A and B are shown apart, each in its own frame.
Chain A
Amino acid sequence: MKKDELIKMLEKVKAPCLPGKEVLWCERRFIDNNFPKLVQMQRQRRKRKFAFALVSIAIVFFIIFGSAALNGYVKGAPPFLSVFGKYIYFAKMNDTVVARVNGVPIYLSNVANEYFLKKASYEFHEKYYGEQFVGTPPDPVDILNDMINKALFAQYMRRKGYELDIIFIPQKEWFDYEVQGDIPQGIHLDPIAHKYFKEKSKIIRDAVSHSNLTEDEFFDKIIVPQLKTDEYTRALKEDIEDSITVPDVTEEEINHYIATRGKGLITFAEVTFPSKEEADKAFALFEAKYNPCYVMLDEITQKTSQGALTNLTFTDFNDFSGYLKKAFQKNKELPYLSEVKDNDEYHLVCIFNYEAPRAISRGEAAFLVKQSKKKVEAEKVISKLELKLAKEARIEIINKKAVEDLANMH
């Protein structure tokens, strides 16, 4: 057979067709069965398309911010994220477990939360009040150890059947105010406390916004577990203190207490001016403010970049230097501002706190010594319990390096 022959043959073949009626039935069946389904599918496709677009945008943001946060983690903070916000974001991303206490994880974000808030508080208050008032800077490893101990105590108390029946309502209300950055009505904070409230509010807001949690979730997941372990620890310490009996207080102990604790304490800040005009001008300026002493303290700190408060212990009023003696006024509500002249110098002195040296009765001293001994003994018992629990528990330190690295973030 030739190819032409085949072509001719094929051209003669009549194409088989389904009857028109059957085609119409098929069409009708298809339309009735599929139109609503296809319209629905089209809607879903549009929704998917929209969701896809959203996810794509989210991924782009995730990549940008993720790399920025990572970059910040390695090299230093990017300008648009605070250290804390960046870190929470980074920690959340990794959901890094840094330790396990009997299988219960402690997350890096929890340690970071505690550490950065403490660090912020330390740096802020150290700036205003000086190192002697704020102690040593926080250390992230200490914070982790503290969290492990508190977790051990909480587990121990639960095993003992202690039920924590607290709803943290005031804490939640205060947290809401902090997140909003609004000081509750009726509360008048001094300028420094006000500044700290704003600073803390910024830190918390930053942490919440980078944690992918709502405010309520953040409070429930990050803050409440911390409050709970604190509450268990407090209850445990109280229980131990109540149960402790200490030996009778000796005469020697009473004498020693009276000799050392009978001293007075004055806390003040001062500025010296060479002329009366300048001192008067500054005095008028501060006096016009709602909290003159804190305004003055704020100003000194801004100028000198260091804490301006001074603590002075004394046994007799005559121990004071001339201008302090002149500035001191009995029965004046603390803190107060005084302008005094001393040796041709003009001083503005703010007295923040004053405890007069006092003669302690032997009975009072005996009670206070006993209380103090109870506390010491309780601490010993707690330390022993801590060691015992730690020995019995399964404590796994999984990523100490990540915790240590928190201290290197600037």
Chain B
Amino acid sequence: MEIDENDLIDKALKSREAFEKFVHLYYGEVLNYIYRRTFDRNVSEDLTQETFLKVFNNLHSFKRKCPLIFWILRIATNVVNNYYRKEIRNRKQKEKLKNNLPVEDITQEESSYKILHEHIKNLKPAYQTVIILRFFSNASNEEIAAVLNKTPVTARRTFYRALDALKKDIEESVTDLEILRLIYGDKNEKG
């Protein structure tokens, strides 16, 4: 069924039905995007809620120049970046965050992502966004540009810089590099 975004935007705060439809359409994608950035279920839910509150409070200012999801992801990116800014300010909380990771609940896939995520988390917020969108949300360069609110050329440049930064960070941790090679590189070649 084709969805008329404009109609949905206009009706979202007028009828509960449209509101539910709106949330259902975008909530999962945003929640998972934030989860990939924070790797914490509770934090993801909180930040997704914050994102959607901002979305609904600013829906009237959405200019409808790009698909709605990119606009929502842009807001989500800002929310996550703000969250990390606060985290950096409060190192204790950062430690708590690390310790709060529900390690026992995570799956094998999540466990292997966890190693990579630790390195992604060390990058600048813009680099994190680019890496997550490009590799884990399968966004195109144009879509990344829309989320970053930049031109595709700038988005591509940011992507390569992000890759360099991530490569450097992984290389600095010899053990992690070996594990990653074992999981994603060598294992595949062997297979």
Contacts and interface: CB of A to CB of B under 8 A. Distances in A.
A binds B: yes
Interface of A: 1, 3, 5-18, 20, 22-23, 26-27, 29-31, 34-35, 38-39, 41-42, 45
Interface size class of B (residues with CB under 8 A): 35 or more
Given A5-B185, A38-B56, A23 B28 contact: yes
Contacts of B32: 15-18, 23
Contacts of A14: 109, 113
Interface string B149-186: 00000000000100110110011000001001100110
Nearest to A42: B13
Contacts of B106: 16
Interface in B24-39: 24, 27-28, 31-32, 35-36, 39
B49 interface: yes
A6 B167 contact: yes
B103 interface: no
Nearest to A6: B167
Interface string B99-126: 0000000110110110010000000000
A159 B107 CA distance: 88
A393 to B, nearest CB: 59
Contacts of B24: 27
A35 B184 contact: no
Contacts of A17: 32, 35
B136 interface: yes
B146 interface: no
A38 B13 contact: yes
Contact of B164 (A3, A29, A30, A34): A3
A135 B19 CA distance: 79
Given A1-B171, A14-B113, A30-B23, A9 B41 contact: no
A10 B127 CA distance: 14
Nearest to A3: B163
Contact of A13 (B13, B20, B116, B167): B116
B89 interface: no
29 contacts: A1-B170, A3-B163, A6-B167, A8-B185, A9-B180, A9-B184, A10-B116, A10-B135, A10-B184, A13-B112, A13-B135, A13-B136, A15-B32, A15-B36, A15-B113, A16-B39, A16-B109, A18-B31, A20-B28, A22-B41, A23-B28, A26-B45, A27-B27, A30-B23, A30-B27, A34-B49, A34-B52, A38-B56, A41-B57
